[in-house]
Structure 1
């Protein structure tokens, strides 16, 4: 009988409408571990991708993201506005990555197994071209300053606003725009042969 109760409870949970982030944050702040687990499920992928692209190491990215979510859980009570959670998460992840980059120079090689290519493409020459383009882009990203890399990734990959990026890197929107412009120019120059 207990198996049927679990199934009914699971079915009920699955049919409940998805709660917004602010509601989940409020519940998590009140000690609801399941609410925080849902926030982790929603944002661990984007935070991992950001950390991986900034650090170039799967292991380092996993460590940073795990540490970020643990720190955020412990400090959830310090968050002034529930709706600011996502920005806080991006800012915390970005800062941890920048600290890790400062602590180690040069940037570690990117694991080629994690470089995404279109596996459905049966033409080996196309797969090799895509792989070469990705390698060129990753090499070009390594040449950017850590701040330029963070700003460019937050804007171009994660779609964050200039204001959100400025908050994440503790800078002005003017400085963020400048860093992104310089990063775009540098990347465009390096990627010119691939156009």
Structure 2
């Protein structure tokens, strides 16, 4: 499946655990395989696969009262842009950790939309199909998610609040 890596990254972001994400990805691919006759009727097969992965991940979270681990080092580690100046590199890494922490603190509907749009680069329509919501809901949730992240970062840097 050409979408296997996307499914894994999506499951990993939801679950925060590599082993569970691999299991969910495999389960999703098996479910897709069993329902392959349905693929011809779909407009966007990738969005359908992502929705299956999302539903399986959410089922796992609900069944185990699973809590997302704050394992950003594995999933979202970004290299420093300025390797010549360790001070600047450290500040950039610190800023990215705060951004990712702010995103992980968002309610699920905001967190999913901001991750799918800003980190994975999906279109509004693809996100709407994946999450089974309207495009307007995607836009509103994305705006509110970005606003909350912006406010939290402003509070941290302006007032030292965390």
TM over 0.5: yes
Q: Which consecutive aligned stretches of 4+ in structure 1 deviate over 4 angstroms post-superposition?
A: none
Task: Give the corresponding residue for 1:112.
Answer: 73
Unaligned runs of 5+ in 1: 1-39
Q: Do 1:117 and 1:130's aligned partners in 2 also have CA atoms closer than 8 Å?
A: no
Aligned match for 1:149, one of 111, 115, 124: 111
Number of residues paired by the alignment? 154
Quick check: which has more Rg, 1 or 2? 1
> Is the CA contact (8 Å cut-off) linking 1:57 and 1:111 kept in structure 2?
no
Question: Structure 2 vs 1, CA of residues 58 and 93 (structure 1 numbering), >3 Å: closer, same or farther?
Answer: same
CA deviation profile, 1:58-97 (whole Å, cap 9, x unmatched): 2222222122112111211122336522121122223333
Residue 151 of structure 2 aligns with which residue?
189
Q: What's the secondary structure of 2:121's corresponding residue?
A: coil
Equivalent residue number for residue 86 of structure 1: 46
Which ranges of structure 2 fall in alignment gaps of 5 or more residues?
158-162
| Deviation for aligned residue 1:184 | 0.8
1:109 CA drift (Å): 2.3
Using the TM superposition, give the Cα deviation of residue 57 of structure 1 relative to its aligned residue in structure 2, in angstroms.
2.1
TM-score (norm 1): 0.65
**CA offsets, 1:126-165, max 9 Å, x none?**
4433432332122212211112111111111222222221
Where do 1:17-166 residues align within 5 Å?
Answer: 40=1, 42-81=2-41, 84-103=44-63, 104-110=65-71, 112-118=73-79, 121=83, 124-166=86-128
